[in-house]
Structure 1
């Protein structure tokens, strides 16, 4: 067992936001060896049509997460946050004494997500239907609003520019500890829901 509070790292954001790239850039600094990526699992099941294996991949993710929580290990997952599985897992982890740290990667608008997924397809990546990207964009932010209370440390990253992401908002233990002067649209909409999600800013 750990002699410290185990940490559940969540890399969240809609398809094409860049969460996998972010994870690959910072995971060594976090000191986490275990990462659960539903997309990678789905591709392992069916390299040609991974979207058809989302349910099977989801079941595999649940099994892996439950195993690592039971063992008290630090680990990370990647999720669009559009479904409820990751939220259920965060809730279980909290009950088991985990600290939840989320890096949420956002773009300026859903059109950027669609464009970046299309570019990824041109480079050999898998296709995701446009209607799924639009739907996930809406439900992903909705779930972020509703379940922020489960997250101990939240870092919102604007990845709209091609030269890398920028931290635009940080919330630690229910209080805003950092915010950029001009929040982009997605994080701005998140911030104006502060009262609704029961997060109190520091003044």
Structure 2
């Protein structure tokens, strides 16, 4: 059994990375994809107030995960990786480990939080994304990086994707964070479908 996390703060490009690199593979391999933002958008369209829709979408996403775990199915979800509460992604990962799930992750990251802020603002102006205040993005950016460093041991496989220039290049922890830890893999050219190894 396998679960795949696409992690990164708002404006990192998680959904774009999924659509361009993973969606077709997930559909082919019956990997069920959970996106709380999409659930929320549908709830708002159905007339539910925004804040209530946010709460409800999280509940639905957690319920879907529970269903897939019970049925021993492979699934994937997006996360800002900033929540460490009882229902947060880190707690979910720990529970998945107990259920003998293999955990893979794609950490989508930009080297400048101001790029994330600008992307979120641009999407909001175009009506293609929800608004997130700059101070919240900055807080999540720092917290996400810290959590990736602290909890990387929970992943069976974790790939670092540099999306600073909107080209989804494979990278490594040292290049993204300036740390001296051992490289997980060598940097490669622009991400292509053939670079992905999530079929095992």
- Scaled by the length of structure 1, what TM-score is found? 0.78
The answer for unaligned runs of 5 or more in structure 2 is 186-200
The secondary structure found in structure 2 opposite 1:82 is coil
1:50/1:145 CA distance change after superposition, 3 Å: farther
Q: Is the 8 A contact 1:51 1:128 kept in 2?
A: no
Question: How many residues align structurally?
Answer: 176
1:141 pairs with 2:145? yes
Deviation sequence 1:119-178 (CA, Å, 0-9, x none): 11122122111121111111111111111111000001000113x110002xxxxxxxxx
Structure 1 unaligned blocks of 5 or more: 1-5, 170-178
Does the residue aligned with 2:171 lie in a helix, a strand or coil?
strand
RMSD: 2.3
Name 2:171's counterpart in structure 1. 168
Report the equivalent of 1:188: 177
Which of 119, 126, 131 aligns to 1:127? It is: 131
Please report how far the alpha carbon of residue 91 of structure 1 lies from its aligned counterpart in structure 2 after TM superposition. Answer: 1.1
Per the normalisation by structure 2, the TM-score is 0.79
1:37 deviates by 0.8
Higher relative strand content: 1
1:114 matched residue in structure 2: 117
**Does structure 2 retain, via aligned residues, the 8 Å contact 1:32–1:76?**
no
| Greater mean deviation of Cα atoms: 128-137 or 71-80 | 128-137
Aligned to 1:70: 70
The residue that corresponds to 1:55 in the other structure is 55
Runs of 4+ in structure 1 deviating by more than 6 angstroms, as ranges, are 199-202
